[in-house]
Amino acid sequence: MHNNITAFCLISATLVLTSLPLSAAQNNQTALQQYCNSPELAYEYKVEVAPAYRVQTNHGAFMQLEQGTRYSASVEFLQQPMLQAGLSRECVEYLLTKADTIDQAVARVYFSFDSAELTDASRYVLAQLIGQLQQHSHLSVEGHTDNIGSDAYNFALGLRRAERVADYVQQQALVHVTTEVLSSGARQPLNDNATAQQRAQNRRVEIK
């Protein structure tokens, strides 16, 4: 990771309706995963949902009766604690899996000023994405820039960033992946580019 990252913590949370034996963990599914990187902190937040069981005590001749259920935690339910903690505003790198991703990036990586080179944090995010890809996946890869420079220069820079990400994914993936490479230059910022921090947030590639 970058030398300026001063802390790293790995957080793993498991949501269950009742206590389960350790062997049940094999059936857990990752419902939400987000990787965040800022100059002060880097961490991975991962939520797993285990099979749910309905427990009834003192049920007839049985002291305890367990039954499987079809309960499925919604993405909104899983995201709410993260949103309340301000993760979406504080994170610089993120990965969101198994969510409603219509018109929403499933991965976002950031770049240094006037650069199309991947950072260590960006490679980590892409590695997590690559691990989720299925055979014959198709990805839309769109590059963005801050507002410094001409429209023509920023369009070309955004394109180089998108091409760099697309090439990396295709080289590293173990399955067949096709990509559509796009550039919006500085025309689709996440904010108004008023500060250096905001400009850094706009220097990105989004993968859908």
Q: Answer whether 0.75 is exceeded by the pTM.
A: no
- Could you tell me the pLDDT band of residue 182, with boundaries at 50, 70 and 90? very high
Q: Quick one: pLDDT at residue 6?
A: 30
pLDDT digits (tens, 9 = 90+) for 95-151: 444 444 445 667 889 999 999 999 988 898 898 889 888 888 899 999 999 999 999
pLDDT above 70: residue 3: no
> How far apart are alpha carbons 117 and 111 in whole angstroms?
7
> How far apart are alpha carbons 150 and 148 in whole angstroms?
7
What residues contact 124, with CB distance under 8 A and at least 6 apart?
A: 1, 35, 93
pLDDT digits (tens, 9 = 90+) for 69-82: 554 555 555 555 55
> How far apart are alpha carbons 155 and 145 in whole angstroms?
8
- Could you tell me the pLDDT band of residue 153, with boundaries at 50, 70 and 90? very high
pLDDT digits (tens, 9 = 90+) for 43-60: 665 656 566 566 556 555
